[in-house]
Structure 1
Amino acid sequence: MATSDWTLLHNRFYRKVEVYSLLWRDIELSKHLVAAAPLGGPVALVRADPRALSVQAAVAAKPILRVFSAAGKLVSESQCEKGNIVAMAWNSCEQLVCVLETGSVRVVDLWGQLVSHLLLGQDAKDFGVLECRFFGSGLVALTGNLKLILIENYSNSRPVLLADAGISSKPTSWIVVPPQFSSSNQPEVLLAVKSTLLVINAQTVIDQRLQTGPHISIALSPNGRFISLVNTAGKVSVISSDFSKQLAEFNTGTSQPPLQMTWCGSDAVTLHWEDSVVVVGPFGDCIRYAFEGVVHLVSEVDGVRIITNDKCLFLQKVPNSTDEVFKIGSTHPGAILYDAHEHFVRKSPRADENIRSIKADLTLAVDTCLEAAANEFNTTRQKALLKAASFGKCFVNDYDAAKFTNMCETVRILNAVRRFEVGIPLSFAQYCYMTPEVLIGRLAQRHHHSLALNISTFLKLNPSRILVHWACTKIKNAGPGSDTTQLLESIVAQCTTHNPNISFTQIAKTAYQHGNTPLAAKLLDHEPIAANQVPLLMSMDQDDRALTKAIESGDTDLAYAVILHIKRKHNMAEFFRLLKGKPVAMALVETYAKNHHDLQLLKDFYYQDDRKIDMARVFLAESFELKAAGQQVNQQIHKWKESQRLFAESKDCGFEVKALEDHMKLVALQGTLEREIGEMFVGMTVTETVYKLLVLGHANRAAKVKTDLKVPEKRFAWLKVKALVEQRNWDALDKVLSRQIRR
């Protein structure tokens, strides 16, 4: 019967379902340090009995870490870092966090591969770590000098010393409240000291002034709303997480501290003593289960997973839909529909009577049967409930068929992941909490790629993440002598079959990181987005290929990024060698140099391209910059000579050669005038030079400049007139004008 494993706790039923008979053998949990991940996660074991630790210390051996699925199937076995492991737990990404007594924190994946390594700081190193408590993305460690050290994030967080609680002895118990449940929106520590609790964060220590202690065990509910406490007298108290009110009390009748206390969902507290597990309800009632030896409790969002030496059990409050269908004497429409289907199978006329009696509530009845099927672990009852729902929806004209189809898909997925080979005993509530995307990611992490891909296809989700993970795993597991061509064909065929637009960037990056650069380069040829190809090619020192891909993409910014990368990395000769034969790249370099006024790059560019006229113009531009910067004339003359030489080597540049020659002659003449007269002339035009000489009264020198630089007679006469006007020499002006008139 469906109710055979139900037990009444006040007015609600709880059930204990055997999920697995564990595959491991000769495992005694009492001799191991155990860490089990929630949501059907894996179980990690390290020998922790004193004899094993003494042997390890004697031979300086590294402890063996074994990871099992929830069904007891061995996933991996690896050696830990030398030292005594104080505590370990799984983070939200199903990576195992191991804290050593020396203050070293190692984060490893399911396969024992190191993900990150952290240190808890000088206090932990000097005084050691006594205890550790974990939350989703971090941990808090208690050191030998009674300091609390916080690691808020395993990936990029530094240890933070929390406020000093001022305690002189080890606390009787303590927990960490995650930031999403704390009043300060940062991790907080609840520390049991004497009869009260201290709330500690990075800045403050607040005494809640409770009088129910000393507390020997504390646990926070999965929804963060309640806190359960056990004191030395054996009294269990449940209070609100803001400490404003007490909600329940229960006397266990023993002063012996529980080995473990956790929550069964957010409705009941579960306590474990050796040989027994007690479930305490919200009204002070309890259920007691007998067990042989030590077990391990894993709190879930809707219950508690119980791991024994040979079984995996799931204890939960019976879901409402299941209770409404199967409870003895239930008159709920779902129960009547289920009964009607049984009569229909037996061809009893009572089926019609039952359907007629719930005609107005048939939609509710169908929904209840569907939800009850999803909440069932027994496949026979699942089928019966789904058939009852299918039978009932035939009598509803406008029932949403998609609801029925989706629930059937959910049941199939749950049954698939619960199989021994996979070992993820998810309930329906846990599946909804986890979401299908997370489940698919965890299946891929456990190398169940085929199942993950089937579920992804089944739910019409993008399979790219699974395919990429599979391909990366295949590359990592490939031996040194594996056939690169065969591996490439296998990966490309599998990936493009399921998703023609898949990105190969991460796969190629993995191949490169594992020393297979040829495979990485060939994989990038299949990458459809050039912006993903090019950065990785540059990191692989495939600069020529990266430049070609960037140019082919038509993305100017991407091409500039590659060009500048090559320029920074190589000398000029190598830089232009890589650009040679790529006219688009050459044009971009020239444009970049002009827009950014990089004259040296322009000179180098024109030199290697043998463009003498353009190079001569660059020398002229440099001379103008030297003038603006106030440099010596000699430096400018050097630039002009270089420019003149280049113009002279080119055809049809006679004018430029002559103009530069005259300009240099003018500058030389102006330099002489400055030395002889003591006035500034350099930088003036020929006309300005002649005019200034005339104004200063150096008519002979002005005439010499006119002759040397071939100033026209009319211009010279006009300049002479202007100079006389400037000098107010009217008599001389009259003579000049009279002479001009007579001519």
Structure 2
Amino acid sequence: MPASPSQPHSTPARSSDVGRRRPPLALVDVKIRPTLFGAQHIRRSCKRGAWRASPVSASARTFTDSILESTPAPPTMASGLPNPTSTWELVSGQYYRKLTLFTPSWAHEEDLNLDDYLVAGAPFGGALALWKDPRKFHTYQGVQSAKPSITICNLAGGLLRRITWDRGPIQAIGWSDDEHLLVVTADGSVRCYYDFQGNFTQFSLGSDAEEHGVVSCRFWGTGFVALLGNNAFVTVNRYDEPRPRPLALPKLPSPESKIHSWAIIPPNYSDSRHVEVIMATDQTILIVDATESQDQILQNGPFHHISVSPNGSYVALYTGDGKVWVIDVKFQQKLSEYDSGKTGEIPIDVQWCGVDSVVLVWEDEVHMVGPNGAALRWYYDNRVNLVPEMDGIRMITTEKCEFLQRVPDVTRSIFEFGSSSPPAGLLEAVGHLERKSPKADDAIQLIRPSLPEAVAACVQAAGHEFDVGWQKQLLKAASFGKSVLELYNSDDFVEMCKTLRVLNAVRYYEVGLGITMDQLERLTPDKLIERLVARQEHLLALRISDYLSLPTDKIYIHWACMKVKLSVDDEDAICKDIVEKLKNERGIAYDAIAKAAFEEGRGRLATQLLNHEPRAGRQVPLLMSMEEDEIALDKAIESTDSDLVFYVLLHLKKKLPVATFFRMINNRPVAYSLIESSARYHDTELLKDLYYQDDRKTDGANVILRESLSQENFTTRIDKLKLASKLLKDSKDHLVEASALEESIRLLTLQESLERDIFEESFVGLPLNETIFKLTRLGFYPRANKIRAEFKMPDKRFWWIKLRGLVAKREWAEIEEWSKSKSSPIGWEPFFNECLSAGNTKVAAIFIPKCKNLNHTERINMWVQCGMIVKAGEEAVTARDYHALEALLPKATGAAVPEIQRMMQKLRPSK
């Protein structure tokens, strides 16, 4: 099935084609050699294209023997290997080589001619996007062929995807570092295809792009810049979070000036850390960023091509008289100049090859300009399409895919004619060893002092070779050298062997990734695995991940998603097959697989798969999106995660009618309790509805009562109190409370009328006691008496309140008159205490004789508190308490002293 790894191809290898050789480390064979690293390997099952994991047996052979034996032998022995320098060309003291990576088959279309197509290549040996050049006439090939489309294929010509295009004229196509395809239309609409299944996200460059149109675009690893029809630039820095932002308007020399060419400096290479645009207009160059446009004041334009080096340090300019200038990015120093001899002929493309040479392409001719203006020329029968890389450039034609790069220094030191370097000597020594010549030992002894460096150089050079035979020969040389050394750390050797196995596997023509070792280091193995997974090379991705000890869960998940999308089996069989394959794997997110099933319209399969997801936090959101609300709620409750339960409940509350929502939570106590506790503080309307549908009248009354206390509008408050009182009456168990509420309503109504009559005074909300106290203090005695009668206030309480009110008002005459009218139900001692506390001893003294219920000692103390010592003495004489008089004598002053003495003399006992 399409989701399973494809069967290995049986096409014989061709020695002239690096990409078509069988993968030297057998990563796509039906069985892989299990003897290298003792990790598990994965083999294909003959049934249904599935996988099964089987343990690897240990091997006693050395690592070097294993890697060499697991590599198919080249057509001839080492002595018969092609001379690697046969493809070298010397330019200004530097060697360059042009390697054929693949001879594309273009199996998806017969008689395909790339001359009729525009080609965009993904970085790091990635895929190609082809779309027909709208400027050319094309042969009619039927209705299906007439439909506009974008073809995505690998470097070997294998079809990855054909995207039918119906969105409008395409102005630019580019790739991100993550191998996401970006398609920009004339109206500023941008599609980002993030896989090879046709899935995409879409965004717009804004109203200016819609109004003026997009002219062209320049891409970098994470973003792009678009030139609009009004000569304005718009940039998008991130494809995953697109926020189109305008750059500063270019200051063109005149209104008639036009932009001849332009390029960008990516943010990670610009001084400002923001994208910068280098544009050619008239005779000069402008640099535009987000804030300003700077004229570099050049006089040799117009420049018809601008290309910035991959490291952002240099700029190549193509002039109208056929010259190429290489200058520093500051436009302060011209480093070299080259005359192409093509005056008046503008190249199709100008790109950098690495960071030290520039490649120019015409219809049938290619020039490579090296340092100091020296150049190489090649002639082709077809147009060449350039795809720049960090360490070289891919040159793609209908017949072949080539890679042009500067020969690495370590490779040059080994293979250069006449080289006497230690690594060259080591390679020569291993050649003698293979021929069983005694000169091998002599050769080793000659380089013995530099042997560690020679071994390291051979290891490094092996990584730069595409030819498997030379990889083996260089590793043999390194192995021979390290066997002579007593102490040698083999980590680099082992890592290089691993890297080569991976590189050779992905360079196989069925995979078609023409990636170099340097590119792999920049890309990282994890990203390489992502690219393999996107191509549905799941088996190869798994083997490489196991081999490099990388996580495999994403590979399994992607495989399962593809199986769900593409399999024609019934849902039960698919679920069983997936679960069986993944049951022993750790970290599998079944929710991702279930989501894929749901998006394919397989709801029951999605639910079945979710049952195998142990994490409720992953299950529940997807169940909710699948409209499986009750299952989602039950799963959340089972997880005992209150936050998750509450998340589901909030979702259901927004989605469902109130009655349906309550029915759903009624038989789920955990959910009911969470809703109740939350609504108590945040949603009283929901809480009232909850209590109402559950016939909890008392709780509903309490909610309404709390609401009434916070109401500023008097009418609303009264209405809520009446409703609360009604609910309490209906409950039959709280009649007393209902009656109290009715009294509160009456009191509030009365207080509201008081506020209308007595201006600038506030009564509403006061208790009954405070209301009467305030009326008394304000002098409204009749109203206080009326309220007391209306609410049947007990006499004792009323007398206390009235007494305090009169004292607070300092109505001493009223107090004295009031005390004469009736007998006090609270006694006269409160009168004494209140008046004394208010500081009026005279009025307080009036009530001392009335305190008949007190003994003479207490009355004496009351007289003393009023400062009336003589009256206290009289009280003592009346009680014939001589000792009390003795106690009063020290307190007496002035005329009171002889009076107390007289009283004492009167009561002094006779001898």
Structure showing greater Rg: 2
The match for 1:16 is 98
- In structure 2, distance between residues paired with 1:537 and 1:226: 55
- In structure 2, distance between residues paired with 1:131 and 1:692: 84
The match for 1:364 is 453
SS of residue paired to 1:331: coil
| Aligned with residue 115 of structure 2, among 27, 30, 34 | 30
- In structure 1, distance between residues paired with 2:135 and 2:370: 37
The answer to whether the 8 Å contact 1:19/1:313 transfers is yes
Cα 1:180–1:636 change in 2 (3 A) is: closer
SS of residue paired to 1:254: coil
Instruction: In structure 1, list runs of 5 or more residues that go unmatched.
Output: none
- Amino acid in structure 2 at the alignment position of 1:492: V
- Amino acid in structure 2 at the alignment position of 1:360: P
SS of residue paired to 1:4: helix
Alignment of structure 1 residues 508-657 onto 2, 5 Å: 508-596=594-682, 598-626=683-711, 629-631=713-715, 634-648=718-732, 650=733, 653=734, 655-656=736-737
Alignment of structure 1 residues 368-387 onto 2, 5 Å: 368-387=457-476
Q: CA deviation at 1:334?
A: 1.8
- In structure 2, distance between residues paired with 1:472 and 1:170: 50
The answer to whether the 8 Å contact 2:154/2:160 transfers is yes
The match for 1:412 is 501
- In structure 2, distance between residues paired with 1:124 and 1:56: 34
- In structure 2, distance between residues paired with 1:136 and 1:574: 51
The answer to whether the 8 Å contact 2:234/2:244 transfers is no
Tell me the TM-score normalized by structure 1.
0.88
- In structure 2, distance between residues paired with 1:675 and 1:304: 92
- In structure 1, distance between residues paired with 2:229 and 2:373: 38
Q: CA deviation at 1:231?
A: 1.9
Identify which range, 382-391 or 203-212, moves more after superposition: 203-212
- In structure 2, distance between residues paired with 1:540 and 1:283: 65
SS of residue paired to 1:175: strand
After superposition, what is the alpha-carbon deviation per residue over 1:527-558, rounded to whole angstroms, capped at 9, x for unaligned? 33333333333333332222223223333222
The answer to whether the 8 Å contact 1:616/1:647 transfers is no
The match for 2:314 is 226
- In structure 2, distance between residues paired with 1:88 and 1:706: 91
Cα 1:274–1:655 change in 2 (3 A) is: closer
> Within the alignment, does 1:264 sit opposite 2:353 as a pair?
yes
The match for 1:348 is 437
SS of residue paired to 1:261: strand
Instruction: In structure 2, list runs of 5 or more residues that go unmatched.
Output: 1-82, 828-849, 854-911
Q: CA deviation at 1:61?
A: 4.9
> Within the alignment, does 1:212 sit opposite 2:212 as a pair?
no
Alignment of structure 1 residues 312-331 onto 2, 5 Å: 312-331=401-420
Q: CA deviation at 1:582?
A: 1.6
> Within the alignment, does 1:504 sit opposite 2:585 as a pair?
no
- In structure 1, distance between residues paired with 2:223 and 2:167: 22
Identify which range, 727-736 or 255-264, moves more after superposition: 727-736
- In structure 1, distance between residues paired with 2:806 and 2:425: 125
Q: CA deviation at 1:592?
A: 1.3
Cα 1:454–1:237 change in 2 (3 A) is: same
The match for 1:91 is 176
Cα 1:109–1:57 change in 2 (3 A) is: farther
Q: CA deviation at 1:285?
A: 2.2
The answer to whether the 8 Å contact 2:247/2:289 transfers is no
Alignment of structure 1 residues 451-490 onto 2, 5 Å: 451-478=540-567, 482-490=569-577
The answer to whether the 8 Å contact 2:89/2:97 transfers is yes
The answer to whether the 8 Å contact 2:227/2:234 transfers is yes
- In structure 1, distance between residues paired with 2:173 and 2:332: 33
Q: CA deviation at 1:576?
A: 1.3
Identify which range, 451-460 or 138-147, moves more after superposition: 138-147
- In structure 2, distance between residues paired with 1:572 and 1:58: 55
The match for 1:76 is 161
Cα 1:734–1:357 change in 2 (3 A) is: farther
- Amino acid in structure 2 at the alignment position of 1:243: F
Q: CA deviation at 1:694?
A: 6.9
- In structure 2, distance between residues paired with 1:718 and 1:142: 90
SS of residue paired to 1:192: strand
Identify which range, 305-314 or 245-254, moves more after superposition: 245-254
Alignment of structure 1 residues 667-678 onto 2, 5 Å: none
Q: Percent same amino acid among aligned pairs?
A: 41
| Higher relative contact order (CA closer than 8 Å, sequence separation 6+) | 2
Cα 1:621–1:53 change in 2 (3 A) is: same
The answer to whether the 8 Å contact 1:322/1:372 transfers is yes
Cα 1:169–1:697 change in 2 (3 A) is: closer
The answer to whether the 8 Å contact 1:146/1:167 transfers is no
The answer to whether the 8 Å contact 2:248/2:293 transfers is no
- Amino acid in structure 2 at the alignment position of 1:635: D
- Amino acid in structure 1 at the alignment position of 2:270: S
SS of residue paired to 1:469: helix
Q: CA deviation at 1:321?
A: 2.0
The answer to whether the 8 Å contact 1:375/1:428 transfers is yes
Q: CA deviation at 1:428?
A: 0.9
Q: CA deviation at 1:90?
A: 2.4
Identify which range, 668-677 or 630-639, moves more after superposition: 668-677
What count of residue pairs does the alignment treat as equivalent?
735
The answer to whether the 8 Å contact 2:161/2:198 transfers is no
| Aligned with residue 396 of structure 1, among 473, 477, 485 | 485
- In structure 2, distance between residues paired with 1:297 and 1:632: 79
- In structure 2, distance between residues paired with 1:446 and 1:642: 72
- In structure 1, distance between residues paired with 2:170 and 2:718: 77
- Amino acid in structure 1 at the alignment position of 2:480: F
Cα 1:377–1:635 change in 2 (3 A) is: same
- In structure 2, distance between residues paired with 1:344 and 1:624: 101
Q: CA deviation at 1:239?
A: 0.6
Cα 1:385–1:643 change in 2 (3 A) is: same
The answer to whether the 8 Å contact 1:266/1:302 transfers is yes
The match for 1:190 is 278
SS of residue paired to 1:399: coil
The answer to whether the 8 Å contact 1:620/1:643 transfers is no
The answer to whether the 8 Å contact 2:97/2:405 transfers is yes
The answer to whether the 8 Å contact 1:146/1:169 transfers is no
Q: CA deviation at 1:426?
A: 0.8
Identify which range, 707-716 or 615-624, moves more after superposition: 707-716
- The CA RMSD over aligned residues, in Å, is 3.6
- In structure 2, distance between residues paired with 1:603 and 1:148: 58
- In structure 1, distance between residues paired with 2:506 and 2:475: 19
Q: CA deviation at 1:22?
A: 1.5
- Amino acid in structure 2 at the alignment position of 1:393: K
Q: CA deviation at 1:714?
A: 4.1
After superposition, what is the alpha-carbon deviation per residue over 1:312-333, rounded to whole angstroms, capped at 9, x for unaligned? 1111111122222222332222
> Within the alignment, does 1:493 sit opposite 2:577 as a pair?
no
- In structure 2, distance between residues paired with 1:407 and 1:436: 13
The answer to whether the 8 Å contact 1:77/1:112 transfers is no
The answer to whether the 8 Å contact 2:318/2:325 transfers is yes
| Aligned with residue 133 of structure 2, among 31, 48, 53 | 48
Q: CA deviation at 1:403?
A: 2.2
Alignment of structure 1 residues 81-120 onto 2, 5 Å: 81=166, 84-101=169-186, 104-108=189-193, 111=196, 113=198, 115-118=200-203
